[in-house]
């Protein structure tokens, strides 16, 4: 298990557009394993390569703890509906904000074996896909927040 340092808001790497992955190398396989380890250790549901300082179009997501996905060179090809809810980010620790995203997305990507696949996602998985793919183009959820960012603890207190 290798944990990587999660880059935080203000780090220039988070504002850059990532490069496509042309081939699977041992180094890229290791990056993907490290991304999962880092995401799980930080209690996240998704992590994009630039969040660990690597400008490659790679995202890992696991919204249930039992369904890990690897997306290489992902693209959203369809979206519909709308959902509004609180969103946080491992690169913006301790903060959350209200964001509206599609309730349904269809994404095409390559898996860890560089085989093409298509995934239709709804609700939390759709939100995670949109959030993580934004990272690949140098965008943080904070650009989409409706209203102000809140401290994470304050949001949970409001829900009690």
User: How many C-beta neighbours within 10 Å does residue 87 have?
Assistant: 21
The one catalytic residue among 112, 132, 146, 159: 132
Q: Residues 127, 85: contact at Cβ < 8 Å?
A: yes
3-state helix, strand, coil in the chain (%, to 5): 30, 35, 35
132: annotated active-site residue: yes
Instruction: Find, among 39, 158, 18, 126, the residue nearest to 89 by Cα.
Output: 39
**110: β partners:** 72, 116
Residues marked as catalytic: 132
């Amino acid at each position: 298990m290798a944990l990587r340092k999660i880059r935080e808001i203000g780090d220039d790497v988070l504002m850059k557009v990532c490069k496509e992955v042309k081939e699977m190398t041992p180094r890229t396989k290791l990056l993907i394993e490290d991304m999962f380890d880092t995401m799980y250790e930080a209690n996240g549901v998704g992590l994009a390569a630039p969040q660990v300082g690597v400008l490659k179009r790679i995202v890992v997501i696991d919204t249930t703890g039992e369904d890990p996905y690897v997306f290489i060179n992902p693209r959203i090809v369809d979206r519909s509906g709308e959902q509004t809810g609180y969103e946080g980010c491992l690169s913006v620790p301790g903060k959350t904000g209200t964001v509206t995203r599609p309730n349904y997305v269809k994404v095409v990507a390559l898996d860890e074996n560089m085989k093409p696949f298509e995934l239709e996602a709804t609700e939390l998985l759709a939100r995670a896909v949109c959030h993580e793919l934004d990272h690949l183009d140098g965008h943080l959820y904070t650009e989409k927040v409706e209203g102000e960012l809140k401290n994470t603890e304050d949001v949970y207190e409001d829900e009690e």
